[in-house]
A and B are shown apart, each in its own frame.
Chain A
Amino acid sequence: MTQSDEKPNRPEPEVSRVGAPFWEAAGNKKLLIQHCKACNENIFYPRIRCPKCHREELDWIEASGKGVIYSYSVVLNNAPSGFLADMPYVVAIVRLEEGVQMLSNIVDCDPDTIHCDMPVEVVFREVGKFTLPLFRPAEQI
């Protein structure tokens, strides 16, 4: 999947009040995660209150963008309408260094080379008027 293959009919995120700063930062190629000043918990996805301590003192930290693939699946047929033009595409759960998990896509590689626990790094791609944080294989540390 390359940028030129992206179709505008891919569904865009329904941006929430608390998620808006994340999407704005992604537009500037920064991967933000929430952080609770009260209990020091790193949080993704962004929440209204800290899910651990329920306090509201939440700020943002910039993630390193590095993580590993917890699991993945390569979509070859019967995708949702907005993704038919993107097939084959790779859905993955990525575990970031900061200890949170996020759903994303793995790009810039042969899907057959992907495996669980593979190191990945963030890469930003424009889809419609949004910039999505996606991941590509990283150099072995």
Chain B
Amino acid sequence: MSRLKGNIAVVGIGEVPTGRYPERDCMDGCVTSAVQAIADAGIDKNEIDCVVPCGTVFSGAYNSDLVTSRVVEELGLSRVHNNVQVFSGGASSASMLKVAGSLVQSGMARHVLCVHSEKLGTGLSGQAGIDLFALAGIHREWEVPFGQHYSTIAGLVTTRYKYETGTTDEQITAVQVSNRKWAELNPNAMFRKPLTVEEVMKSKMLATPIRAKHSNMLADGAAAFIVTSAERAKDLTETPVYVLGSGGRVTHHSLSQEADITRFGYAEAAADAFEEAGLSPKDIDIAEIYDSYPIFEIIALEEMGFVERGKGGAFFLEGRTWPGGELPTTTNGGMSSQGHTGGGGGFAILVEAVRQLMGKAEKRQVPDARFAAVTATGGTYVDAQVEILGNEIS
């Protein structure tokens, strides 16, 4: 079990709207969200002594800039000891929080800036985006030659899950509707018009049973957060958000090598996180669950113990995850509605959890929220990452 519980806090966040912004350079979003996070934390920029940029995939050249401290130079930070890129695909936010938290807890750093920016919406053409995600994280000898890509990965998982649980396409599609209900209230989301199950079910079939509107949309976006010690956080803000528990399980690299594609490692990861936090699913006010495709939101909620196996789809369909529902879930709208920014998908969900616990979520604020469970996963759903956050120490 980690020694981070109650010792580490997120004290500032920033985010630019997700969508298609051809005029916005990738570095624009990076700098803007970082400046917002520094201001939100109420620290001087030169108090930042470590910068953790997330990896990007739209451009290798841009990523090289991040590796070689361009963010430090752009922001004019004069006292940075280390610029350390952390990248675990969509699970980067979980890895960055753990790395930043560990650096603070060890005394290696005092104020860590974690920042992400991507340009998957306008930095690539449509087919180039499809082709990138037919290679990214997919085995080039044993899976790429058979036409594996992210729609088939979601298709394989959804098909087997339906077969084992009897869940219907309508119930699975209800995840998209729930995410959209939240996105309607999120000014940073890419898609904000109401969405119905019928509309999704009429959209083009990509890879059975995955339709176009079951898919996420590649997008431009950026976000940032500042990590410091719980002790320092008391000087800075009345609403520090504490790291209370963490868990993670890496289960595979290639989906075909996963023994159970209907479960992954969420049960074990959540058990660790809940044990560290001293909490259980019934204590959680908000579930911020990484989606990218609806099936992964269902599997995560079930495996973490929020709803019985096979009942997750109905849970969404009955509106129990909607605004005003008993378990507000993925309150930024997820990657299906806010947009998919690569490593930023999980990042946006983590930032949303912090925003809710700080009481800054405006129209979609969950009243009196104290504890949130946050998930992330990278690549071909290679891992299950779970963080428990709270605005008080459990």
Contacts and interface: CB of A to CB of B under 8 A. Distances in A.
A-B interaction: yes
Interface of A: 10-16, 19, 45, 70-83, 86, 89, 91-93, 101-105, 111, 115-117, 127, 130, 132
Contacts of A91: 146-148, 152, 155-156, 207
B141 A75 contact: no
A91 B206 CA distance: 12
B147 A13 contact: no
Given A91-B148, A103-B256, A73 B141 contact: no
Contact of A78 (B130, B160, B163): B130
B279 interface: no
Contacts of B130: 78-81
Interface string B118-159: 000000000100110010000111111111110110011101
Nearest to A76: B205
Interface of B: 127, 130-131, 134, 139-149, 151-152, 155-157, 159-160, 163, 204-210, 212, 254-257, 259, 261
B147 A80 contact: yes
A70 B151 contact: no
Given A71-B160, A73-B156, A45 B139 contact: yes
Given A71-B157, A91-B156, 10 more contacts: A13-B141, A15-B141, A45-B142, A45-B254, A71-B261, A72-B159, A78-B151, A91-B155, A91-B207, A92-B156
Contacts of A16: 141
B157 A103 contact: no
Nearest to A23: B141
A93 B206 CA distance: 18
A102 B145 CA distance: 12
A45 B204 CA distance: 34
A50 B257 CA distance: 15
A103 B380 CA distance: 14
Contact of B208 (A15, A76, A116): A76
A130 to B, nearest CB: 7
A12 B208 CA distance: 24
B131 A81 contact: yes
A83 B256 CA distance: 19
Contacts of B257: 45, 101
A75 B139 CA distance: 19
Contact of A11 (B142, B144, B155, B160): B144
A117 B164 CA distance: 11
B297 to A, nearest CB: 19
A117 B261 CA distance: 14
Contacts of B144: 11, 13-14
B163 A116 contact: yes
